[in-house]
């Protein structure tokens, strides 16, 4: 593993999709309030274990293709997706249901670093990738790449003004367990 997280932990910022009529349930909610609601997650997704470990009510079943039908039918109160993907998922899937929307006042956060893995038989490749990442991080190229792909998304989702509910992620290596939300790193 190349232990230099990429994408500023953007995958760990989880945005909710809800029924529009339930907006009031989330607007002023805190962690305790949200724990009383039910989260819907497709079967086998690792998010289910993360939320359960953090004492959230989880409905884990079905597939990605039916999660929005299940949300609309009232089987659960919300579902979440990474900030990096939620707009696309909403546009291509959830928007087919007129009564669904992206919740705009809060988000979950848990450490979910994007890292490179290299075949253990290729240690020189690992060193080369690590050095290359260090170089483009130091010279600003990595920031430029991130900003060109994600800055508009970060602004559209208003990430810097959402309430954050932080969760522990027991599924990641110990060296990343202390990653905290850092919205300043997501700003220009």
Task: Give me the pLDDT at residue 146, please.
Answer: 93
Q: Is residue 139 a part of any domain in this protein?
A: yes
For residue range 132-167, what is the model confidence (pLDDT) as tens digits?
A: 999 999 999 999 999 999 999 999 999 999 999 999
Task: Give me the pLDDT at residue 174, please.
Answer: 86
Task: Give me the pLDDT at residue 16, please.
Answer: 98
Q: Is residue 62 a part of any domain in this protein?
A: yes
User: Percent of the chain having pLDDT more than 70?
Assistant: 98
For residue 117, pLDDT beyond 70: yes
> Domain tally for the chain?
1
Q: Is residue 181 a part of any domain in this protein?
A: no
Q: Is residue 23 a part of any domain in this protein?
A: yes
Q: Is residue 41 a part of any domain in this protein?
A: yes
> Which domain CATH number covers 154?
3.40.190.10
For residue 188, pLDDT beyond 70: no
Give 144: exposed, middle or buried? Use CB within 10 Å, 0-12, 13-18, 19+.
Answer: exposed
Task: Give me the pLDDT at residue 176, please.
Answer: 86
Q: Is residue 56 a part of any domain in this protein?
A: yes
Which residue in 53, 35, 1 sits closest to 169, CA to CA? 53
Region 20-49: mean pLDDT is 95
Q: Which structural domain, as residue segments, surrounds residue 25?
A: 2-171
Q: Is residue 64 a part of any domain in this protein?
A: yes
């Amino acid at each position: 593993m190349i232990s230099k997280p990429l994408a500023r932990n953007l995958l760990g910022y989880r945005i909710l999709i809800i029924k529009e009529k339930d907006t009031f349930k989330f607007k002023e909610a805190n962690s305790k309030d949200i724990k009383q609601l039910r989260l819907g997650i497709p079967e086998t997704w690792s998010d289910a274990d993360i939320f359960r470990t953090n004492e959230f009510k989880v409905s884990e079943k079905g597939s990605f293709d039916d999660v929005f039908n299940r949300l609309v039918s009232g089987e659960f109160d919300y579902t979440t997706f990474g900030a990096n993907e939620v707009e696309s998922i909403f546009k291509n899937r959830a928007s087919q249901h007129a009564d669904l929307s992206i919740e705009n006042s809060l988000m979950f956060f848990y450490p979910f670093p994007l890292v490179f893995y290299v075949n253990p038989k290729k240690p020189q490749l690992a060193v080369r990738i690590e050095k290359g990442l260090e170089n483009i991080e130091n010279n600003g190229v990595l920031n430029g790449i991130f900003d060109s792909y994600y800055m508009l998304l970060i602004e559209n989702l208003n990430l810097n003004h959402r309430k954050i509910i932080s969760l522990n992620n027991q599924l990641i290596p110990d060296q990343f367990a202390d990653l905290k939300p850092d919205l300043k790193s997501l700003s220009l």
